[in-house]
Amino acid sequence: MVQSILQNEKYCGDVIMQKTFRKDCISKETVVNTGQLPKYWTQNRHEAIVSREIFDAVQEETARRKAMASGTKKSAPTGLGKYSSKHALTGLLICGECGTPYRRVVWTQKGMKRPVWRCVNRIDHGRTYCKRSPTLDEKPLQRAVLAAVNILMSRKDVLANGVASEMAQELAPVPGEVMSLGDIERAIGDLSKRFDRLMNETDGEESIQRNMDQFRDISEQLAALKERKAHVFGLRAENDLLTRRLEWAEQVMAEAPAEITEWNESIVHQLVEEVKVLSKGEIEITFKNGAKIVQTIYVERQEAAS
């Protein structure tokens, strides 16, 4: 029930039309629309009880957890399974060799517990699918991520310009798309009127056969315009989500302290999009505002000895 509520667009004031349709007029069987027909997304159809920012953030987080789940699943070499949000790096730390998420494992040596992160493929399948992914000690890994976060914080002004440029590119019109939603609506209206006039002029089977090509041409144009309308709606929704996402990342950067000296699960989770393991001593951190930083993992002598 909770999952259904979290994914219901009606709570933020929107309506998606044609989620289901009748298979035929004889059986009147209702089936779920999984791509057989276009869907139509109407925004601000009614008063919302959940803000659009919260709703979109929930959809993004749901998608991230579904795509980046980090549990084990030995039946397949993907490493995907149940999501765990106990640690910020869960679902964020990715193997650079096979693309599988890393998982936190606690080793016990001489009575001492040592948390490490390992590629799920290596845990479940040894070297069968992933031959060279390194095991990373947690503390040096966290220090490397924090160092990258602090670099990000120190370059706020420079990165802000980069984010603005990236947003401009992402929000630019799609090549070849010259019609606005208003143009599409007007074209659909004109074609509908043509169809009605043709119907009124049609009288008898002979005239139906004579006008069949025009009926078919109008129907095909209407179908193409409706698909185009749905496509533009989808692009608009994606652009709105991207804008809010980048603004959110900038807001987190603005509110966070100038330098983070201790590991902070919340800040890391809000700022970091992905941490890719390049080697035993190097990771690439991708932030939610699009910035990427390659960071060295430094292991102190005492930790290396243990």
pLDDT tens per residue across span 258-275: 778 888 888 888 788 899
pLDDT tens per residue across span 28-72: 888 888 878 888 878 888 899 988 888 888 887 777 666 555 444
**Largest pairwise CA distance in the chain:** 94
pLDDT at residue 306 greater than cutoff 70 = no
pLDDT tens per residue across span 11-28: 988 888 888 888 877 778
Q: Locate all alpha helices (DSSP H) within 7-83, ordered by sequence.
A: 52-67
pLDDT at position 76: 45
- Contacts by 296-299, CB closer than 8 A, 24 or more apart: 296/144, 297/136, 297/140, 297/141, 297/143, 297/144, 298/140, 298/143, 298/144, 299/137, 299/140
pLDDT tens per residue across span 74-126: 444 444 445 555 788 888 899 999 998 999 999 988 888 999 999 998 888 88
**CA nearest neighbour of 218 among 240, 184, 244, 194:** 194
Q: How confident is the model at residue 131 (pLDDT cuts 50, 70, 90)?
A: confident
pLDDT at position 135: 94
pTM: 0.53
Q: How many residues does the structure list for the chain?
A: 306
